[in-house]
Amino acid sequence: MAILADNGFEQDELTKPKKALDEAGAETKIVSPQKAVVRGWKSKEWGDKLQVDVPLDQANPDSFDALLLPGGVVNADSLRMQPEAVQFVKSFFTTGKPVAVICHGPWAIIEAGEARDRRMTSWPSLETDLRNAGAEWEDREVVVDGNLVSSRMPEDIPAFNSSMVDVFGSVEVRMSHVVSEMQNEEPHVKPPRRDSDVVDVMLQLV
């Protein structure tokens, strides 16, 4: 599971959902435009520094099954201004993978052109931005629209985490089932013909 964040991410909106995913058995990776560490924002001051697992310029969206976008004004504003980050976000929608987003995180989704016709919520000040982008905005603690989970603010994190784990987990189960079927399926390879069969065909062509 990829967690895309830049400096200024809202700390609780990254660390608490990450913990929920880790406890559910997911493998999470922090992806960032920063190379080594990325720093959070906590209340009215800078927060903790977290280790970057995969620098954005080395991140392959195909290596991840889902995406988490934490909020934070500085973080979200920075990401939407970086084409590489916007393309990373867009790729999850293009391939139909689940995305969970909270607070100001939807800015990157808007920039990627993926908000249209989606039911979403966000930090209240993004309501007009999302409606202008074609989304149906709802003032609820969590909105689940297919494989897209969204919430408004840190106070919504318990509901957000629960829905995110459910949606992300159901995708993992489906993928595991498909892989299992592929591994157990007998290959559709026709057995080699007997020499007599080849002779019969050649005689028919004479």
Q: Burial of 53 by CB count in 10 Å (0-12 exposed, 13-18 middle, 19+ buried)?
A: middle
| Pair 108, 69: CB distance under 8 Å | yes
Q: Which of 18, 97, 104, 118 is catalytic?
A: 104
Q: Is 103 a catalytic residue?
A: yes
- Catalytic residue among 21, 103, 142, 164, which? 103
Separate counts of helices (H) and strands (E) for the chain = 7, 12
Tokens 């995969």 belong to 54
Which uninterrupted H or E stretch holds 22? helix 11-23
Instruction: Print burial letters for 105-117: b (CB count within 10 Å at least 16), e (below 16).
Output: bbbbbbbbebbee
| Residue 119, both tokens | 């039911």
177 flagged as catalytic: no
Query: What amino acid is encoded at 189 in this protein?
Result: V
Question: Which residues, 6 or more positions from 2, have their beta carbon under 8 angstroms from its beta carbon?
Answer: 28, 29, 31, 54, 59, 61, 64, 66, 67, 68, 88
Catalytic residues: 103-104
